[in-house]
Amino acid sequence: MGSEKKEPFVIRGRLFTLLDGGGSDEHLYYDDGFLAVGDGGRILFVGPELPDRYAHYQVHRTQHLIFPGFVDAHVHYPQLPVVASYGTSLLEWLDKYTFPEEIKYGDRSYAERRAAQFLTVILAKGVTSAAVFSTIHQVAFEALQASSRDLGLNLVSGITGMDRGAPDALSVDVAAFKDINAKAIEASRNLERFSYAITPRFALSCSDRMLDYCGQLLESDQSLLAQTHINETEDEILATSELFPNANDYLEVYASFGLLSERSLLAHGIHNTETEYERWAESGASVVHCPTSNTFLGSGLFDADGYVSRDINIGLGSDVGGGFSLNPFVTMAEAYKVAKLRAQVLDPLRLIYWHTLGGAKSIHQDDSIGSLEAGKYADFCLIDITSDEVGFEIWERAGTVQEKLFSLMFLMPDSKNRVVATFTAGVLRWQDEIQSGF
Ligand code: GUN
Ligand code: ZN
């Protein structure tokens, strides 16, 4: 992990990063840049010339693009096996495909195998941090936490709270949930790269007592985050209004139980009323936009301007298995397309901001991750941009760095260009044996 002693080193090559605090358009791009990494896994220096004080470090030259590690701000690890489940919308999809798979995670060895598989796949896509949903089972949470430690990722997660609206095997009463949740919180304290998020799945799977417990816990312990779903489909909103008749809207359900705060990550938010946007903005909560899920399940079209114009922080999430891809470039391309269908145009740098610094901000870690800047963790990936002849021609021809990066979003999934190595805290955690050349 980050505090282990490791040999410091320098990596040299094409380098891109956004800059923290600079909004979505302040960035660095070098055709030939240097990234110096210290023995604690933190970045010491980024720039176009290597200062003399690092001249004795081993320098690795790469032909690949050095890029900040991505933050997947909303994803379900037990749902990787249900990606591409055909024909349904959210509520039927949960019942037909998702809940039956999640039941299997009560088995420790199944959960361990799936956790390691999931984390290896996200590393291979250049994701170094993620806010992850688990299941109701303590063993599923423990498997994820242990695997994350072994594989070196930076995670936020929690036991997924459900006490109604799901099969018996996925529901626990509030007393039992309090017990496993408290144990999971204690097991997460003081871990360097793991934070706990209270995780009531969504209003439809939680009783008043469950939401009340979760909200009180969030208010009483400032070290905790909260994550859930909101305003994803019309059916879900209607069913929620029937279950919570005293609330004026969906956001008010969470707000009334203390779950709306600046430490809350609310996924989807695609059918907000005007009142909900205003209240959301006042609360400081982040939205996690999950475009591949919204198009795949036919949930609706996220209104980026609705959030941007109110200065609400946005992260991007794959929402696998509602989402069909863990690849951040696919997610960014889908977000661009969704916006276009609403006659909005998203700058590629804004999309990258959402998938790096925006995500980092949503989990309150923008001081330590999300960009390649001195003092932050050396979480980065190497992207092969030269292997695909046409792709590289388009990259070379593009006049601005925005256009170059935009071309990757649309060309990478269908070309030879891809992430070939991923580092967290300065340690190589995954590499494509043939391509990485590191
Ligand atoms: N709402 C409640 N649970 C889920 C889930 O697993 N996926 C999505 N997309 N929405 C949800
Ligand atoms: Zn989700």
- In the predicted model, what is the mean pLDDT of residues 226-251? 98
Is any ligand 1 atom within 6 A of the Cβ of residue 237?
no
Half-sphere exposure of 284 (CA within 13 A, CB side): 8
The predicted structure's pLDDT at residue 5: 62
**How many CB atoms within 10 Å of residue 27?**
17
Instruction: List 380's β-bridge partners, or say none.
Output: 68, 423
- In the predicted model, what is the mean pLDDT of residues 301-327? 98
The predicted structure's pLDDT at residue 414: 80
- In the predicted model, what is the mean pLDDT of residues 321-339? 98
For the full predicted model, state whether its pTM sits above 0.85.
Answer: yes
What separation in angstroms does the CA of 343 have from each of 223, 308, 311? 39, 15, 20
Is any ligand 1 atom within 6 A of the Cβ of residue 98?
yes
Q: Give CA–CA dist 315/335, Å, rounded.
A: 11
Is any ligand 1 atom within 6 A of the Cβ of residue 293?
yes
- In the predicted model, what is the mean pLDDT of residues 135-144? 98
Helix (H) or strand (E) holding 162: none
Is any ligand 1 atom within 6 A of the Cβ of residue 90?
yes
Q: Give CA–CA dist 98/139, Å, rounded.
A: 18
Closest residue by Cα to atom 7, ligand 1, is 322
Q: Scanning the structure block, which residue is given the tokens 């609403």?
A: 342
- In the predicted model, what is the mean pLDDT of residues 334-342? 98
Closest residue by Cα to atom 8, ligand 1, is 322
The predicted structure's pLDDT at residue 4: 55
- In the predicted model, what is the mean pLDDT of residues 353-364? 98
pLDDT band at 413 (very low <50, low <70, confident <90, very high): confident
pLDDT band at 2 (very low <50, low <70, confident <90, very high): very low
pLDDT over 60 at 253, yes or no: yes
Half-sphere exposure of 244 (CA within 13 A, CB side): 25
pLDDT band at 191 (very low <50, low <70, confident <90, very high): very high
pLDDT over 70 at 3, yes or no: no
Number of H helices, E strands in the chain: 16, 17
In the DSSP assignment, the letter for residue 136 is S
What is the whole-number distance in angstroms between the Cα of residue 98 and the centre of ligand 1? Answer: 9
Rounded to the nearest angstrom, the gap between the alpha carbon of residue 173 and the centroid of all alpha carbons in its chain is 29
* Integer-rounded Cα radius of gyration of the chain: 21
What is the whole-number distance in angstroms between the Cα of residue 265 and the centre of ligand 1? Answer: 14
Which tokens belong to 199? 């995780």
pLDDT over 50 at 1, yes or no: no
Q: Ligand 1: which of 76, 163, 170 to mutate, judged by most atoms within 8 Å of the beta carbon?
A: 76
Contact between 329 and 290 under an 8 Å Cβ cutoff? The reply is no
Q: Which atom of ligand 1 is nearest to the CA of 290?
A: 9
pLDDT band at 438 (very low <50, low <70, confident <90, very high): low
pLDDT over 80 at 23, yes or no: no
